[in-house]
Amino acid sequence: MTDTFTAIVIEDQDGKPKAGFRQLTLADLPDNDVLVEIAYSTVNYKDGLAVSGATKIARSLPMIAGIDLAGTVVESRSAEWKAGDKVVVNGWGLSETQQGGYSRYQRVKPEWIVRLPEAFSLEQAMAIGTAGYTASLCVDALVDWGVQPGAREVLVTGAAGGVGSVAVALLAKAGYTVTASTGRDSTHDYLRGLGASNFVPRAELEAKGGPLQKERWAGAVDSVGSTILANVLAQTAYGGAVAACGLAAGADLPGSVMPHILRGVALIGVDSVMAPRAKRERAWARLARDLDPAKLAAITTVEPMSKLPELAAQIVAGQIRGRVVVDVTR
Ligand code: NDP
């Protein structure tokens, strides 16, 4: 183990959260039961907000940023985990209320840990990360509601982003005909490669529409919120469902109850942060079963942690395609 290591720490600077690189020692980490040597973290939208300072994510300072981590257990006071175990942690307040994954080491609580699925390397687990695991939770939510592959298509909004890319791949693999909504025409070939059959320009969904529009979708995965989500709900067919997890376009929802009370459409909220272990394991099992490694590779780029400030600004600006893995050793 190294004596000192680099981490990205959010600190208070004149009343504002400011991210910077800091040299830490193990004594700086919290006293949780499992010490993990982290190999990779990743860049999710929330990480972008935290590191760029665009939104206050950390509830106490100083805070090590990074909502995900994947690595190897070094020491454990828990009977459930032992040195050498390959593990993944997603959410549980990392970077908000708990010290996070942009660090060479972290101490975590045993109950937060998911065992690395055999299908994946540590790098692939972070290529999936919170965004990909949330996409899997969204697909599970649609399946549980009863949205089945069939005549009508399913829509994925923010399709070229992290949640969107994995959702497209998982839905296509499960047999759904997938329409991708993206603001970037340049990503059509990429999305077709993941399994999208059709496209809706983001702009078409951005203008405020009526409370009940032509029924188009059997279901949808929405990572953007706001007017786009309101329109998607208004276009969802009788008895369908929208799994909503994100707010890249805004946290508002300027719609009406009409799709819900006249068409029985469900708006299913999906949270990854505090999701119980059983849901997580089911979502990871779907990913292990259905996410083609070649498609995962097409989604992924690997970057050093030293580039995080730049990457954070890019994801907040909607410029990241797919998923970025962060190598915390560089
Ligand atoms: P990304 O930035 O990778 O993807 C978001 C995508 O949304 C972009 O790629 C872009 O897609 C689209 N987008 C960006 N800005 C706008 C805009 N102003 N209007 C409309 N569309 C826009 O982020 P992630 O995939 O990591 O996260 C997506 C959302 O899901 C975030 O809001 C995040 O906070 C949320 N999230 C929630 C979780 C939960 O537990 N509920 C867990 C994980 C993520 P395109 O270019 O294709 O149009």
Please check whether residue 245 is in contact with residue 223, taking contact to mean a CB–CB distance below 8 angstroms.
yes
Q: What confidence score (pLDDT) does residue 290 get?
A: 96
List phi, psi (to 5°) of 119: -65, -20
Indicate the DSSP class of residue 103: B
**Residue 273 in contact with ligand 1 by CB distance below 6 A:** yes
With bands split at pLDDT 50, 70 and 90, how would you rate the model's confidence at 151? confident
- What's the 193 CA to ligand 1 centre distance in angstroms? 20
- What's the 182 CA to ligand 1 centre distance in angstroms? 11
Residue 62 has pLDDT above 70, yes or no: yes
Q: Which residues does 286 contact at the CB level (< 8 Å), separation at least 6? A: 136, 139, 140, 170
pLDDT averaged over the chain? 96
Shortest-distance Cα residue to atom 38 of ligand 1: 245
**Residue 50 in contact with ligand 1 by CB distance below 6 A:** no
d(CA 244, CA 250): 12
Q: Which residues does 232 contact at the CB level (< 8 Å), separation at least 6? A: 155, 157, 205, 217, 220, 222, 242
Q: What confidence score (pLDDT) does residue 3 get?
A: 86
- What's the 265 CA to ligand 1 centre distance in angstroms? 23
Q: Of the residues 224, 270, 320, which should be mutated to test ligand 1's pocket, given the most ligand atoms within 8 Å of the CB? A: 224
The larger pLDDT score, comparing residue 218 to residue 1, is at 218
**Residue 135 in contact with ligand 1 by CB distance below 6 A:** no
Q: What global pTM score does this model have?
A: 0.95
Cα Rg of the chain, angstroms: 20
d(CA 81, CA 103): 20
Residue 67 burial class via C-beta count within 10 angstroms: exposed 0-12, middle 13-18, buried 19 and up: buried
**Residue 45 in contact with ligand 1 by CB distance below 6 A:** yes
Please check whether residue 130 is in contact with residue 42, taking contact to mean a CB–CB distance below 8 angstroms.
yes
In the chain, the domains with their CATH numbers are: 5-116+299-327 (3.90.180.10), 130-269 (3.40.50.720)
Shortest-distance Cα residue to atom 10 of ligand 1: 158
d(CA 177, CA 188): 15
Query: Of all residues in the chain, what percent carry a pLDDT higher than 90?
Result: 96
Q: What is the pLDDT of residues 110-132, one digit of tens each?
A: 999 999 999 999 999 999 999 99
**The amino acid at 33:** D
**Residue 182 in contact with ligand 1 by CB distance below 6 A:** yes
With bands split at pLDDT 50, 70 and 90, how would you rate the model's confidence at 85? very high
Shortest-distance Cα residue to atom 29 of ligand 1: 246
Q: What confidence score (pLDDT) does residue 15 get?
A: 86
- Mean pLDDT (whole number) for 262-268: 98
Residue 2 has pLDDT above 80, yes or no: no
**Residue 183 in contact with ligand 1 by CB distance below 6 A:** yes
